[in-house]
Each structure stands twice: as structure tokens, then as C-alpha cells.
């Protein structure tokens, strides 16, 4: 069964979140495939209006973080949307743990800002913030899931060695590893993807539109244009290069976190959910073109 039809079947059994494509996690929950991020362009900015627009457009998955500096405005949008808490999928991420505080203290503060009683997913944002104590921090995160303050728990920007460090003493395998993932980091990411798959850890992607947003004119452009033309003809509507990149992620069962303040762009993201899937040859063509160069925008220490 293709990833597309797998996702469609999953969505029919996941109405408690929203009528959207979802992907299963190793703890038995589901994560909506499309997420709206409050970092990058919204970093340290008031995100309320942008998030309200995303929710009104049909986005359920809201990706925040303590380090983004805008959990308050994300919380205001959650309340202002009028949506039932159960219809939204709220994510935040652990930054550093201030002296004299615990991981729990930081999440309780986040919950107050977000104006919710729990988050659907709580991630350790970066292993660099907890060097030498990752295993202990992960045990604290496990306790938060047991307490019910986070339904699912995971990590972000973790390498294989970081995952191995926490798994050695873990009672819970991370449900997610959120990383920068697009065709221009495909080759470098392959060992991590294979390791995550072996441990049943779902990779989720941020920065998925990097090849066209930050490095236009690269080896992937002509491939994306050709595929966009084919999908446009099949779908009977105009499909652009960004949607093709999202279809590439969808073909791999990798949730996509995207950000935009424009309603039209958000609806464009959502429209990708119902577009025809890429063929195996098209996925391979993107893989081959993307592997001809390497561009990482975030967490560049991962290439050291």
C-alpha cells in the first residue's frame, strides 16, 4: 500500500484531531501530517494573527517552542480560535533548564502561556542544551508523559549518538525526532533516517521548502518543475514546486512543518493533502537531484 493511501486510511480513524492526514506514532497516537510552525519568520514575534489564520484555514497541528519566545501569543490564538482543545494538536519544545528549576517547571510555565492543560507533543529541542545530562533530562520528560502533561514525547535535532545516549536508560522510546529535512540534506540524513526507522521513531521535517526558498537555481529546480507540470495535469489544477516538495515528504510518511502569514499560502499547504501522490520514479528523481549538493540552514553543527 502506498504512503498516500496509508495516510488516507489513517485519517479516517483519527477524527478526534481533525479531518486531515495523520501519521501514527509509536505510542499509539496520531500526529497530523501538516503542521504550522511559530519559529523562523515568527521567531520572537507575536504569532497570534498568523496562528488564528492557520487554524481558521483548517490547520490543527501547531508547532511551538520555549525558545521561540511567543508561546503567549500562540496560547492567545488557541483560545481565540474557539476550537475545542481536542481538535488541536499542540507542540512545544524544551529549551534550557534554568538553575534551580526542573524540566517539569519549564513545561508548567509553557502550559500557562499556551493556556492548555497538556501538550500533545513535548520535545527536547536540542541535545546541545543538555550535554552530559541528556539521559537524566529524558527521564524527566518521561515522567511528564506519565503525569499526563504531555501525551507524546520526543526530541529534535538529535543525531544517532544523541538517541543512543538516551535510549540506553530509557523506559520510553521517543515518538518523534524533528529535524531539518529536505532534498539538500537527504544524503547527510540517510543514516539517521535508517536508525530512526529501526527504533520506530518518526522523523518530522522543518525547513522542507529550503531548496526553493533559500537556494533557488539548484540542481533540483528543473526536476521540481517537471513534476509540478505532471501533477498539475493530473489534478486539473496548478501545482507549484513547493507543493511538490511537500508531496515528496508525504511520500515518505514524514510530517511537514511550514510557516506563513499569508492565508493563500496556508491554504496551498493544506491543498497538498489531497493532491495525487508522486510516483516512485519522481521521488527517486528528487532524491538524485537533491543529493548533488548539500545545504543545511539550521543547526549547522550537525555537519561537524
d(CA 136, CA 149): 18
Give the pLDDT score at 2.
35
Q: Give the DSSP H or E segment for 36.
A: strand 34-37
Helix axis angle for 280-290 and 241-251, nearest 10°, is 110
User: Is position 184 annotated as part of the catalytic site?
Assistant: no
CA R_g for the chain:
18
- Domain spanning 3-216+245-276 has what CATH number? 3.20.20.100
What are the backbone angles phi and psi of residue 151, rounded to the nearest 5°? -70, -40
Residues of the chain with pLDDT > 70, as a percent, come to 94
**DSSP, residue by residue, 141-190:** HHHHHHHTSEEEEEEES--HHHHHHHHTT-SS--SEEEEE-SGGGHHHHH
Give the pLDDT score at 262.
87
Q: Mind listing the pLDDT tens digit for each residue in 277-288? A: 999 999 999 999
The pTM score is: 0.92
Residue the block writes with cell 483519527: 14
User: Which of 4, 68, 89, 184 is the catalytic position?
Assistant: 68
CA end-to-end distance (rounded Å), the chain: 38
Average pLDDT in the 66-87 region? 97
295 known member of a binding site: no
d(CA 174, CA 27): 9
Looking at per-residue pLDDT, the higher value among 160 and 262 belongs to 160
Looking at per-residue pLDDT, the higher value among 6 and 78 belongs to 78
d(CA 176, CA 32): 13
Amino acid at each position: 500500500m502506498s504512503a498516500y493511501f496509508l495516510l488516507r486510511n489513517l485519517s479516517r480513524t483519527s477524527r478526534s484531531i481533525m479531518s486531515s492526514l495523520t501519521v501514527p506514532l509509536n505510542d499509539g497516537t496520531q500526529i497530523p501530517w501538516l503542521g504550522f510552525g511559530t519559529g523562523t519568520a515568527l521567531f520572537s514575534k507575536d504569532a497570534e494573527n498568523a496562528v488564528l489564520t492557520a487554524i481558521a484555514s483548517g490547520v490543527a497541528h501547531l508547532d511551538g517552542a520555549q525558545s521561540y519566545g511567543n508561546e503567549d501569543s500562540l496560547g492567545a490564538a488557541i483560545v481565540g480560535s474557539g476550537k475545542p482543545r481536542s481538535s488541536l494538536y499542540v507542540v512545544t519544545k524544551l529549551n534550557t533548564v534554568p538553575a534551580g528549576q526542573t524540566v517539569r517547571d519549564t513545561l508548567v510555565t509553557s502550559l500557562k502561556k499556551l493556556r492548555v492543560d497538556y501538550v500533545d507533543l513535548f520535545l527536547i529541542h536540542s541535545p546541545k542544551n543538555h550535554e552530559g545530562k541528556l539521559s537524566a533530562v529524558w527521564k524527566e520528560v518521561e515522567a511528564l508523559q506519565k503525569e499526563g502533561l504531555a501525551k507524546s514525547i520526543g526530541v529534535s535535532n538529535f543525531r544517532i549518538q544523541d538517541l543512543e545516549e538516551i535510549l540506553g536508560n530509557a523506559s520510553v522510546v521517543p515518538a518523534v525526532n524533528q529535524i531539518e529535512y529536505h532534498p539538500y540534506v537527504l544524503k547527510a540524513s540517510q543514516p539517521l533516517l535508517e536508525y530512526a526507522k529501526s527504533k520506530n521513531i518518526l522523523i518530522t521535517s522543518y525547513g522542507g521548502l529550503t531548496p526553493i526558498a533559500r537556494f533557488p537555481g539548484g540542481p533540483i529546480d528543473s526536476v521540481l518543475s517537471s513534476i509540478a507540470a505532471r501533477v498539475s495535469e493530473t489534478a486539473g489544477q496548478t501545482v507549484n514546486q513547493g507543493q511538490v516538495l511537500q508531496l515528496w515528504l508525504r511520500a515518505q510518511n514524514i510530517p511537514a512543518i511550514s510557516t506563513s502569514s499569508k492565508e493563500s499560502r496556508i491554504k496551498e499547504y493544506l491543498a497538498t493533502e489531497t493532491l495525487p501522490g508522486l510516483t516512485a520514479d519522481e521521488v527517486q528523481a528528487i532524491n538524485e537531484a537533491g543529493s548533488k549538493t548539500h545545504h543545511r540552514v539550521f543547526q549547522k553543527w550537525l555537519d561537524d
